[in-house]
Structure 1
Amino acid sequence: MELRHLRYFLAVAECGTVTAAAARLHVAQPAISRQLHRLERDLGVELFTRNGPRLVLTHAGRQMRDVAADIVTRADRATMVAQQMAGGLLTRVVVAAAPTTIEYVLAPFVATLSSSDPFVSVDSVAPDAVHEAVLAGHDLGVAATAPPTGRLVWTRLTSVPLRAYVAPDHPWARRRTVPLEELVHEPLLVPPATDPTRRVLDEAVAREQLRYDRYEQIAWPPLSQALAAAGRGVSVVTNLEQFGARPIFVTDHRAQKVLLTIHACWDPDHYAAPALAEFVARLATFADTEVREAAHSVS
């Protein structure tokens, strides 16, 4: 069974006669008739019955029509993708990123794209799994981690500040900033040790030669912020405000905000590496304006 046999079969099924199918395909009628008989012989089933001048699908033919249409569609798509790959064109971008990055960086960026831009799909992965996901075949990774050494290309997108969230009746509720030397003495709600936000916080605390008094590890940022709103501790995340919790920027001893830097990465040997680089440049422009502005402001 060859792909052209399936195309002939589908054309006859739609047109109803070999004559009409031959005219559509610009193929001689005898050739189509021979290939249909061969297809029926190969499959071991009768695909058509004759009703006057028309050919009507049998029950087996109707089932085969759906299968054949799927095969032909997939084959056509494979051909199109191969042609695009050969030309270095980028029509679809599969991105690996953590849920927070998808929500606050990728989704807002995708909303600015047009129908002529690549179609973007995302796979939610752990923050420390982005690098491996790109090595495994994802087109692009967006991660809030320090670029590891290796063969991937990494580029900075933007930096966002760490925020401490407190309940509305907390003594800090009307403050804009809190230094690390004060923060570490509060009951903290922090991400797990593998989370990029936690790593940045731990590094900043270590540089200041400080230690946490006590903390709870909360893996899901919205829950951490909800607990802070309920007065169960001070949540340290990068998410924008929710649940009525009051945001306060975390600062170091120089009164500078503690920042988390977001990067994008891709394989330089990707078939559309130049197009990916251009796509990332647009993402970086968006991230360093729209995302950064929202992250550095509070309502």
Structure 2
Amino acid sequence: MRSRNTGLPMDRINYQHLFYFWMVAKHGSITAACDRLHLAQPTISGQLAVFEQAVGSKLFRKEGRKLVLTETGRAVFHYADEIFALGREMTHMLKGRTTERGMRLNIGVSDAMPKLIAYRLIAPILQWTEPTQIQCVEDKTERLLTEIGLHSIDMMLADVPATPASGMRVFNHFLGETKVALFAAPALAARYRQDFPRCLNGAPFLLPTHNTALRRSLDQWFDSRQISPVIQAEVEDSALLKTFGAAGVGLFFSSQAVAGEIQRQYGTEMLGLADGVLERFYAITAQRRLKHPLVSAILAHAQQGLFGLLDRPDGSRSLS
């Protein structure tokens, strides 16, 4: 596919050919791409050859039975990745802006995220002047990051930022931080209120599981104060942990920012603060520059002092 006048590669890309190339590169072989696209192998092979001719350079080389991208192939794949990611964003945006139902926002909530905090973050957009549809899904952080990469959700709320090790191209937006307090049902609170926190040695505790940022901070807090807790249960879901706590099973920690709601909703009392322990919260999105108005509204509300925040931690950042 060369210009008849110059013999040079055409300036206008055939995006169908680019898509076939991208699928082969992404899935590692023509056979795998054919399975995904439900096309015959000669179709993909032929279109790939035409695309290489138009580009004017080989995009793959064979290493044994495997196809490996050439230097030009890696460069083209990088651009193709950007192009089709933008296409998915556009499709997702258009689906989310239906004229009858208004704007739609799909939010993922990490299972380690305190639900009262998640509600407080989402609540402002429930009063949005335009019609909106909000969908919230709760899942493991790793699975939600995958959903962001697939543009199945617009934003994820989490208690830890995404790291490069996740392998996903996402962006962290710092929302705020809050101190951590200790709560208990009234009978337990009366027993452990005096001489806090030394009285906590040997007390029954309900703790988050080891895979959470809060648990790691609490373990350090116990060690630094030479407190040996009796762990009654380790509970991953923050709402279930509070339900156990309300039943008097053990003492439990949660965000000071929602202390009033915890005491009213669960009938518990606050004993004191775990000095030096902080919970930090992040919104994670697929875009550095936020385009969804509802996502922008959530971040703006949080960053205006939702938690009565301390200074931002070193290295954290808010992107707009």
TM-score scaled by structure 1?
Answer: 0.54
Question: CA shift at 1:262, angstroms?
Answer: 0.7
Does structure 2 conserve the Cα–Cα contact (< 8 Å) formed by 1:176 and 1:249? no
Change in 2 beyond 3 A, CA 1:83/1:266: closer
The one of 124, 128, 151 equivalent to 1:113 is: 128
Q: Where does structure 2 lack aligned partners over 5 or more consecutive residues?
A: 1-89, 310-320
Residues 258-273 of structure 1 mapped to structure 2, 5 A cutoff: 258-268=277-287, 273=289
Deviation at 1:234, TM superposition (A): 0.7
Separation in 1, partners of 2:303, 2:221? 23
SS at match of 1:228: helix
Distance 1:187 1:134, change over 3 A: same
Is the aligned partner of 1:131 residue 2:145? yes
Whole-Å separation in 2 of the counterparts to 1:161 and 1:245:
18
Q: Report the CA distance shift for 1:175/1:98 in structure 2 as closer, same or farther (over 3 A).
A: same
Alignment of 1:246-285 (within 5 A): 246-252=269-275, 256=276, 258-268=277-287, 273-276=289-292, 279-285=294-300
1:157 aligns with 2:175: yes
* Distance in 1 separating the partners of 2:143 and 2:228: 27
Unaligned 5+ residue runs, structure 1? 1-80, 295-299
Match of 1:234 in 2: 251
Against the structure 1 CA distance between its residues 248 and 287, is the aligned structure 2 distance closer, same or farther, given a 3 Å change threshold?
farther
Out of 145, 169, 186, the residue aligned to residue 168 of structure 1 is 186
Of 171, 182, 187, the match for 2:204: 187
Other structure's SS at 1:156 match: strand
Q: 1:161 to 1:282 in 2, by over 3 A?
A: same
- Tell me the CA shift for residue 237 of structure 1: 3.0
Contact kept in structure 1, 2:175 and 2:303, CA below 8 Å: yes
Taking the aligned partners of 1:133 and 1:169, their CA distance within structure 2 comes to 44
Q: Relative to structure 1, is the Cα distance of residues 134 and 225 closer, same or farther in structure 2, using a 3 angstrom cutoff?
A: same
SS of aligned partner of 1:121: strand
TM-score when scaled to structure 2?
A: 0.50
Task: Tell me by how many angstroms 1:142 deviates.
Answer: 1.1
How many residues were matched structurally? 202
SS in 1 for 2:187: coil
Shift of 1:188: 0.7
Q: Which of the pair has more CA radius of gyration?
A: 1
* Runs of 4+ residues deviating >6 angstroms: none
**Residues 74-93 of structure 1 correspond to what in structure 2 (within 5 A)?**
82=91, 91-93=103-105
Contact 1:164–1:237 (8 Å) recurs in 2: yes
Q: Once the two structures are aligned, what percentage of the paired residues are identical? A: 16
Report the 3-state secondary structure (helix = DSSP H, G, I; strand = E; otherwise coil) of the residue aligned with 2:175: strand
- Measured against aligned partners, the alpha-carbon deviations of 1:105-133 in whole angstroms (never above 9, x if no partner) come to 344133232216x6432222135543333
Q: Give the SS at the match of 1:169.
A: helix
CA distance in 2 between counterparts of 1:287 and 1:248 reads 27
Question: What do the CA deviations read for 1:39-85 (whole angstroms, capped 9, x no partner)?
Answer: xxxxxxxxxxxxxxxxxxxxxxxxxxxxxxxxxxxxxxxxxx75965
Confirm or deny: 8 A CA contact 2:188 2:251 kept in the other structure.
no
